[in-house]
């Protein structure tokens, strides 16, 4: 679908775009083309093949190069990369998007829904949620100050012993004393002590996350706190047949990669994206090994020269 999009002269002095141009001038030059693919909500598919066919059908760029552009837009905060239902997407802050796309009616956006899922983890949504939560807490505090509670508080339920295994299933909240719940089979998560490889690797990932994101929400550095993380590491070792060295190496690489370090924040996500991470790691290593000694200062001329050579 053809879309009209407004681009102002401010794009020439945009600091984020200027920084991106220093690292990859091709990605910076092609940014306006990506704007044409965004819907009225400022969202688009980030599948490299779909993007290539929709935006660059006549351009000599591979899907791998398009994927690199998408990673750079996320890295330089031009757009936010996220996944929903195992599909990749890009989104722009709606306030920024509508600031320039003035012809899009806000009442239309409120009445209709985008075909692309909302980026629930986007920074602007998290910021708005924090403001809403603070407002809700203030209202609740004011209401509680006016309520005189006459009934005695119920005695607290005894806390489970920390030495007990954690169950991965929970009782239904609809269960009543008159309708006892049928017993369910539960899977117990084992506890890995500080001498095990599972715990050491979980602790290593925690350190990597905090090195990149100082305020990240991570478990406490104890066997109990890292129980779930260590268990996911154990699954990779026992079920997926990954060696501890392989796991440590991929954790280290993913947290040095400018794109993946913001997306691989737990062993569970590492396990889920293992094959994708390995493929990206291998491609990065091949690119380094095959890189020319002197990089050209004009990538557009180099690409045109290669196309003309192929046609000749």
pLDDT (tens digit, 9 = 90+) per residue, 228-254? 999 999 999 999 999 999 999 999 999
Select from 80, 106, 125 the last residue of a domain.
125
Query: What percentage of the chain has pLDDT greater than the value 90?
Result: 44
For residues 201 and 118, membership in a common domain is answered with no
- For residue 233, what are the domain limits? 197-289
What DSSP state is assigned to residue 218? -
- Tell whether 158 is covered by a domain: no
Q: Is residue 32 part of a domain?
A: yes
Q: How far apart are CA 81 and CA 249, in angstroms?
A: 24
| Mean pLDDT over each residue of the chain, to the nearest integer | 80
Using 50, 70 and 90 to split pLDDT, how confident is the model at 165?
A: low
Among 96, 125, 154, the domain-final residue is 125
pTM across the whole model: 0.46
Instruction: Report the b/e string of 121-145 with b at 16+ CB within 10 A.
Output: ebeebeeeeeeeeeeeeeeeeeeee
Average pLDDT over residues 11-33: 91
pLDDT of residue 163: 44
What mean pLDDT do residues 172-198 have? 71
Q: What is the pLDDT of residues 122-148, one digit of tens each?
A: 888 766 655 455 555 554 555 555 444
pLDDT band at 267 (very low <50, low <70, confident <90, very high): very high
Backbone Cα Rg of the chain? 25
Contact indicator for 274, 242 with CB cutoff of 8 Å: yes
Residues 251, 205 contacting (CB under 8 angstroms): yes
Instruction: Check whether 149 has a pLDDT greater than 50.
Output: no
Other C-beta atoms within 10 Å of 102: how many? 8
Q: Which residue, 108, 125, 142, sits at the end of a domain? A: 125
Over the stretch 71-120, which tens digit does the pLDDT of each residue have? 999 999 889 999 988 899 999 998 888 888 888 887 878 888 899 999 88
Predicted confidence band at 271 (pLDDT cuts at 50, 70, 90)? very high
Taking Cα atoms as reference points, which of 38, 33, 21, 87 lies closest to residue 61?
Answer: 33
Q: What is the mean pLDDT of residues 20-31?
A: 92
Task: Assess if residue 240 is contained within a domain.
Answer: yes
- How many CA within 13 A on the CB side of residue 69? 24
Contact between residue 21 and residue 28 where contact means Cβ atoms under 8 Å apart:
yes
Question: Within this chain, do residues 22 and 120 fall inside the same structural domain, yes or no?
Answer: yes
What average pLDDT does the segment 46-74 reach? 90
* Domain-embedded: residue 46: yes
Given a cut of 70, whether residue 290 has pLDDT beyond it is yes
Confidence band for 183, pLDDT divided at 50, 70 and 90: low
Q: Which two tokens stand for residue 8?
A: 């102002």
Q: Does 13 share its domain with 111?
A: yes
Of 138, 255, 137, residue with least CA distance to 206: 255
Whether 160 is covered by a domain: the verdict is no
CA-nearest of 248, 310, 257 to 279 is 257
Shared-domain flag, residues 119 and 17: yes
Q: Is 117 in contact with 80 (CB distance < 8 Å)?
A: no
* Domain CATH code at residue 40: 1.10.10
Please check whether residue 157 is in contact with residue 180, taking contact to mean a CB–CB distance below 8 angstroms. no
83 domain residue, yes or no: yes
User: Same domain, yes or no, for 229 and 121?
Assistant: no
Instruction: Give yes or no for residue 159 having a pLDDT over 70.
Output: no
DSSP-derived secondary structure for 42-105: SEEE--HHHHHHHH-TTS---HHHHHHHHHHHHHTTSSEEEEETTEEEEE--HHHHHHH-TTS-
**What's the whole-number mean pLDDT along residues 208-214?**
92
Classify residue 299: in a domain, yes or no: no
Question: What is the C-alpha separation between 58 and 155, in angstroms, rounded?
Answer: 71
User: For position 298, what pLDDT does the model report?
Assistant: 57
Of residues 44, 53, 129, 107, the one with CA closest to residue 78: 44
Average confidence (pLDDT) over 5-22: 89
* CA separation for the pair 121, 80 (Å, rounded): 9
- On whether both 109 and 212 belong to a single domain, the answer is no
User: Structural domain tally of the chain?
Assistant: 2
**Do 119 and 215 belong together in one domain?**
no
Domain membership of residue 304 (yes or no) is no
């Amino acid at each position: 679908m053809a879309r009209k999009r407004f681009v102002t002269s401010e794009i020439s002095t945009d600091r984020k775009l200027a920084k991106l141009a220093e690292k990859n001038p091709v990605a910076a030059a092609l940014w306006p083309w990506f704007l044409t693919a965004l819907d009225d909500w400022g969202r688009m598919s980030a599948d490299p093949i779909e993007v290539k066919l929709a935006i660059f059908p006549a351009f000599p760029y591979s899907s791998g190069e398009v994927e690199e552009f998408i990673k750079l837009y996320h890295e330089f905060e031009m757009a936010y990369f996220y996944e929903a239902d195992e599909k990749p997407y890009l989104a722009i802050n709606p306030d920024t998007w509508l600031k320039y796309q003035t012809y899009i009616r806000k009442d239309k956006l409120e009445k209709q829904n985008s075909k692309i899922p909302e980026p629930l983890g986007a920074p602007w949504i998290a910021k708005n949620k924090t403001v809403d939560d603070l407002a809700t807490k203030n209202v609740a505090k004011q209401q509680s100050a006016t309520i005189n509670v006459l009934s005695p508080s119920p005695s607290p339920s005894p806390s489970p012993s920390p030495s007990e295994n954690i169950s991965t299933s929970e009782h239904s909240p609809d269960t009543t004393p008159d309708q006892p719940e049928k017993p369910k089979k539960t899977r117990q998560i084992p506890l890995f002590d500080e001498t095990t490889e599972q715990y050491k690797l979980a602790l290593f990932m925690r350190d990597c996350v905090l090195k990149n994101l100082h305020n990240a929400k991570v478990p406490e550095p104890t066997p109990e706190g890292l129980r779930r993380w260590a268990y996911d590491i154990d699954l990779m070792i026992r079920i997926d047949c990954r060696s501890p060295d392989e796991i440590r190496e991929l954790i280290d690489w993913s947290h040095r990669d400018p794109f993946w370090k913001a997306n691989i924040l737990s062993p569970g996500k590492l396990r889920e994206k293992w094959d994708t991470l390995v493929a990206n790691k291998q491609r990065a290593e091949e690119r380094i090994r095959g890189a020319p000694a002197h990089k050209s200062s004009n990538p557009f001329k180099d690409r045109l020269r290669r196309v003309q050579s192929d046609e000749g």
